C-alpha cells in the first residue's frame, strides 16, 4: 500500500511528566504497530498540557524533551511517522478558534471527563475557559490532518464522539470538507502501580521508562503483592489476589508463569524471590530501550532535527487544510 493510499492517524501525549510502563504498553507499543499500516501524526500536545499545568509552564519544555526521547527509544520511527510539537504548528490554534465559534457550550459541559478531572485534581483551579474547551482543541488537532481514525481506550470514547459532532456541525454549516473521524479502539492493559492502584504519575507509584536497573529493582522489591498472604508458609493465589502477578503476565513466558502459580499456591515460593524474578525480567525487556535512549540523549541535536522536520511536514498539511476551511467559510453559498 502506498503512503498516499494509507488512512491517517492522529494521536498525541501531553508533556506533563515522565512516561512509565503504562504508557509503553498502553500507547507506544500500539503506535509502533500503527505506523506500519497508517500515515501517522504523533504530536507533543504542549498546549493541552497548559490546560492543567498553566501555573508551571516552565516544566513543559524539559518534559517535552524527555517524552520524545522515550518515544524514539521505544521504537517510534520518524521515517514512518510525523513527530512534532503542537505549538510549532500555529494552525492548531487557528482551527481551534474557528471551531470554538460553532461548538455549543452544552456539548462541553456534558463531557464526563470535565467534572471527573475537577474532582480528581482538586488542588488545581480547573474552572477555566481553556479546560472546558480542551475537547475543541482536540477536535482541531484531528481535523487539521483530516485524521480518519484516532487510537483511544474505551474511557476516551466520549472525547471522540464530541469531535465527531463538531465535524458534522462544520460540514453542515459550511462545506463537507472533513471526513468524520472514527475511534480506533486499542487494548489498553491496566497496569497496576507499586501500591496496587492504576500506574500513574500523579500517584507516585510508577516505574518510569527512564528508571535505571537499580531503581527498578528497588521499586519492585517494595511493590505490594498478596495482602492476604502475610507469611511465606501461607498458600498464595497469584492469579486472583497478587497485584505484582499482573506485571508477571507481561514480562514472563507462560511456562514460567505456570511454575510461579503452582509453587505460590503450594507455599513453596516467597514473594521476595518472585519480585526479584520480575525485576530482572523487566530489566531484560527494557535494556534495548535504555540503550537507544542513552544514544539519543547523547545527541540532542538529532532529536531537535527530528521535531523540526516533523513540524515542517505537519505544517504543510495544516496550511492546506486551513486554506480549505477559510474558503468554506467565506464562500458558504458555494456549498
Per-residue pLDDT of the chain (335 residues; tens, 9 = 90+): 444 568 999 999 999 999 999 999 999 999 999 999 999 999 999 999 998 888 889 999 999 999 999 999 999 999 999 999 999 999 999 999 999 999 999 999 888 776 666 555 666 677 789 889 999 999 999 999 999 999 988 888 889 999 999 999 999 999 999 999 999 987 767 789 999 998 988 788 999 999 999 999 999 999 989 888 888 888 889 899 999 999 999 999 999 999 999 999 998 988 999 999 999 999 999 999 999 999 999 999 999 999 999 999 999 999 999 999 999 999 866 55
pLDDT of residue 14: 96
| DSSP track, 98-165 | HHHTTS-HHHHHT-HHHHHHHHHTTTS---SHHHHTHHHHHHHHHHHTT-SEEEE-GGGHHHHHHHHH
- Note the helical H segments in 174-270: 213-221, 245-251, 254-265
- Which domains occur in the chain, in start order? 3-191+300-334 (3.40.50.620), 211-293 (1.10.240.10)
pLDDT of residue 20: 96
Q: Are 249 and 282 in contact (CB under 8 A)?
A: no
Backbone angles phi, psi at 83, to 5 degrees: -105, 130
pLDDT of residue 2: 44
pLDDT of residue 19: 96
pLDDT of residue 111: 81
pTM equals 0.91
Backbone angles phi, psi at 20, to 5 degrees: -125, -175
pLDDT of residue 81: 98
Count Cα neighbours of 255 within 13 Å in the Cβ-side half-sphere: 0
- Three-state DSSP class for 70? helix
Cell of 287: 535494556
Amino acid at each position: 500500500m502506498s503512503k498516499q493510499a494509507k488512512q491517517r492517524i492522529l494521536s498525541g501525549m501531553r508533556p506533563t511528566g515522565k512516561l512509565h510502563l503504562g504508557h509503553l504498553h498502553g500507547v507506544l507499543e500500539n503506535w509502533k504497530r500503527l505506523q506500519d499500516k497508517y500515515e501517522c501524526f504523533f504530536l507533543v500536545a504542549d498546549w493541552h498540557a497548559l490546560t492543567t499545568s498553566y501555573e508551571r509552564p516552565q516544566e513543559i519544555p524539559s518534559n517535552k524533551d524527555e517524552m520524545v526521547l522515550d518515544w524514539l527509544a521505544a521504537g517510534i520511527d520518524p521515517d514512518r511517522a510525523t513527530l512534532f510539537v503542537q505549538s510549532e504548528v500555529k494552525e492548531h490554534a487557528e482551527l481551534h478558534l474557528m471551531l470554538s465559534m460553532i461548538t455549543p457550550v452544552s456539548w462541553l459541559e456534558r463531557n464526563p471527563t470535565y467534572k471527573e478531572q475537577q474532582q480528581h485534581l482538586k488542588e488545581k483551579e480547573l474552572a477555566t475557559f481553556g479546560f472546558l474547551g480542551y475537547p475543541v482543541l482536540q477536535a482541531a488537532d484531528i481535523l487539521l490532518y483530516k485524521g480518519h481514525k484516532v487510537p483511544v481506550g474505551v474511557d476516551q470514547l466520549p472525547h471522540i464522539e464530541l469531535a465527531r459532532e463538531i465535524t458534522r456541525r462544520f460540514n453542515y454549516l459550511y462545506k463537507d470538507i472533513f471526513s468524520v473521524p472514527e475511534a480506533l479502539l486499542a487494548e489498553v492493559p491496566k497496569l497496576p502501580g507499586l501500591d496496587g492502584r492504576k500506574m500513574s504519575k500523579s500517584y507516585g507509584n510508577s516505574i518510569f521508562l527512564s528508571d535505571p536497573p537499580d531503581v527498578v529493582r528497588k521499586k519492585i522489591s517494595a511493590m505490594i503483592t498478596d495482602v492476604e498472604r502475610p507469611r511465606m508458609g501461607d498458600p498464595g493465589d497469584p492469579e486472583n489476589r497478587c497485584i505484582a502477578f499482573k506485571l508477571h503476565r507481561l514480562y514472563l513466558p507462560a511456562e514460567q508463569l505456570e511454575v510461579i502459580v503452582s509453587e505460590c499456591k503450594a507455599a513453596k515460593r516467597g514473594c521476595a524471590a518472585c519480585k526479584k524474578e520480575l525485576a530482572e525480567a523487566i530489566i531484560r525487556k527494557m535494556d534495548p530501550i535504555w540503550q537507544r535512549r542513552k544514544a539519543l540523549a547523547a545527541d540532542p541535536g538529532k532529536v531537535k532535527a527530528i521535531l523540526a522536520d516533523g513540524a515542517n511536514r505537519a505544517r504543510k498539511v495544516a496550511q492546506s487544510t486551513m486554506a480549505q476551511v477559510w474558503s468554506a467559510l467565506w464562500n458558504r453559498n458555494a456549498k
